[in-house]
Homo-oligomer: A and B are copies of this chain.
Amino acid sequence: MDFVQNRRSIRQYTDRDVDDALLNRLLEEAERTQTMGNMQLYSVVVTRSAEMKQRLAPAHFNQPMVTGAPVVLTFCADFHRATEWCRLRKADPGYDNFLSFMNAATDALLYCQTFCTLAEAEGLGLCFLGTTVYQPLAIIEALRLPQLVVPVATITLGWPAEHPAQTDRLPLTAVRHDEVYAPVTPATIERDYAAKEALPENREFVRINGTETLAQIFTDIRYTRRDNEAMSDGLFEALRHQGFLK
């Protein structure tokens, strides 16, 4: 599993296509992922056409990977298929609620991540777009997602045309807690973040952005309170629109 250790997000792809038989095999193998009650509460929309990539791009802030990748995959929390199955089988489904959204989102994200691991094991490169939940209604409209289907993850996929440096990660002490959650203190922050803050690339990042600290890049520029609150409203609106909230 060395490829997991060596992974990096890939944003530039060669002209080589991703063979559809390979894509099908990986999507099918990923179906072995655990799933709630074996209901498989997910679906994936495969985008290959230039026209559809253009339609998806604005929802992802026109990040160039969306139109530059041979394949874009949108993973969706999907209680629509299971609900239709119930209706056709004399069963009365009760999945138009928030818990059911979380169950389906969980299924979709686990499935997505198994797919990512399998794809990277094949040598494919991918980039996960966190923007999927930023303007979900735009994606819902573009992909014609029915009731009880909400996009939760997008990846752009192709054969790597770059080999970027690996980004840093926090030491495991930041992530692991034993028996109960250990308090986060100035001392633990120092222990867990000092190395990250001292990295030349992160110091350069601070310089370019003109902030005093690395943390301010996140709070003041990349992920601001104002954007987060506006997009929280948009996400709730999407959940209501798709029938997961009353």
Contact = CB atoms under 8 A, between A and B. Distances in A.
Interface of A: 1, 4-5, 7, 9, 24, 27-34, 36-40, 42-49, 52, 76, 80-82, 84-86, 88-95, 97-100, 102-103, 105-106, 109-110, 112-114, 116-118, 121, 127-128, 130, 133-134, 143-146, 149, 152-153, 167-170, 172, 174-181, 183-184, 186, 189, 192-193, 212-216, 218-220, 222-226, 228-229, 231-232, 235-236
Contact of A36 (B93, B95, B130): B130
Given A52-B179, A172-B24, A176-B46, A90 B212 contact: yes
A28 B170 CA distance: 9
Nearest to A87: B215
A244 to B, nearest CB: 9
A171 B105 CA distance: 20
List the 6 closest A-B pairs by CB distance, nearest first: A94-B225, A89-B215, A113-B113, A91-B215, A89-B213, A91-B219
Nearest to A39: B218
30 contacts: A1-B121, A27-B175, A31-B175, A37-B222, A40-B175, A43-B176, A44-B177, A45-B178, A81-B174, A81-B192, A84-B189, A86-B215, A86-B219, A88-B215, A91-B216, A92-B219, A92-B225, A93-B225, A94-B228, A95-B225, A95-B228, A99-B133, A99-B134, A100-B228, A106-B109, A106-B153, A110-B112, A114-B117, A143-B177, A146-B184
Number of copies: 2
A29 B48 contact: no
Contacts of A121: 1
Given A45-B180, A49-B179, 8 more contacts: A1-B117, A5-B32, A31-B169, A34-B127, A85-B189, A99-B231, A102-B133, A113-B113
Contacts of A184: 80-81, 84, 146
A36 B130 CA distance: 7
Nearest to A9: B34
